[in-house]
Structure 1
Amino acid sequence: MPPPAGRDSPVRARRRGLLVGAALVVAAGLVTHFVGSGPIADLAGDALYAAMIYLFIAIAFPRAAFWVVGVTALTLCTLIECFQLTGLPGLWAESFWPVRLVLGIGFDARDLAAYAVGAGVATLVDVAVSRRRRARA
């Protein structure tokens, strides 16, 4: 059954909100990367990266359970971090620098903790926003 005239479907409204969130997280991540420095900026950038991955997965699968999206985002971030141990992302970044933003270039175990924080916070924010949206409906 289509939504009432003038109202988006819940999935469409969710995707729109997730896209806005993703744009804000990407902007914050780029600012952190290009303006910030030191270990705090590095960890914040990694947490934002995990939040961005969460949002992209949630956009692709808007009906998936929150915890599934969160665990998937954390798993993907962990796999990408472990892939850095091969040295391939660093090699590829020499030829095409944006690879550095997507895959990183060097393994750092501290990044795994930042990914857990980023995916966890993204999950909690998504749950809170979704509950609030349902309460208003």
Structure 2
Amino acid sequence: MRLSAAGAALATVGAGLGLRAVAVGEVAKYGGDALYTLLLVALVVLVAPRVTAWKAGALALAVSWGIEFLQLSELPAELSRHSTAARLILGSTFNAPDLFWYAVGALVGWLVVASRRAGQGRTSPAL
């Protein structure tokens, strides 16, 4: 499962870069938000391969939402002014619609992990 998760993480980063190269505006922004959380799902499974699909999606969503709500403070904006990595990871400005698109990414991640495990004959609880 770790190899699959690592491959999924790399593919997700590639999809995000590709999306930014060919799309603009809301498609690029909100697609990027969903992919951000999808990447987090893959990283959760990479670090903890026995985690349930539901927990991987929930943890990725919680981190995404936590970072978004952190943007209500000045900390992410200040760090983003000094670091490209901080800007990519933390963003800088709160945007409520991002919360929905993070949930979309978590749902897709949950579905992918659950279906992958079902295809391997492993049982993974639906919830």
Q: TM-score w.r.t. structure 2 length?
A: 0.90
**What is the match of residue 15 of structure 1?**
2
Runs of 4 or more above 4 Å deviation? none
CA distance in 2, matches of 1:34, 1:102: 19
Choose the corresponding residue for 1:134, options 109, 121, 124.
Answer: 121
| Partner AA of 1:41 in structure 2 | A
**What is the match of residue 50 of structure 1?**
37
| Partner AA of 2:100 in structure 1 | A
Q: Which runs of 5+ in 2 are unaligned?
A: 123-127
* Farther-moved stretch of structure 1 (76-85 vs 92-101): 92-101
Give deviations 1:30-71, integer Å, cap 9, x for gaps. Answer: 233455320111110000000001111111111111111111
How many correspondences in the alignment?
122
- What is the aligned-residue RMSD (CA, Å)? 1.4
**What is the match of residue 49 of structure 2?**
62
CA distance in 2, matches of 1:74, 1:35: 26
Q: Which runs of 5+ in 1 are unaligned?
A: 1-13
| Correspondences of 1:21-32 after superposition (within 5 Å) | 21-32=8-19
* Cα pair distance change 1:35/1:99, threshold 3 Å: farther
* Farther-moved stretch of structure 1 (16-25 vs 83-92): 83-92
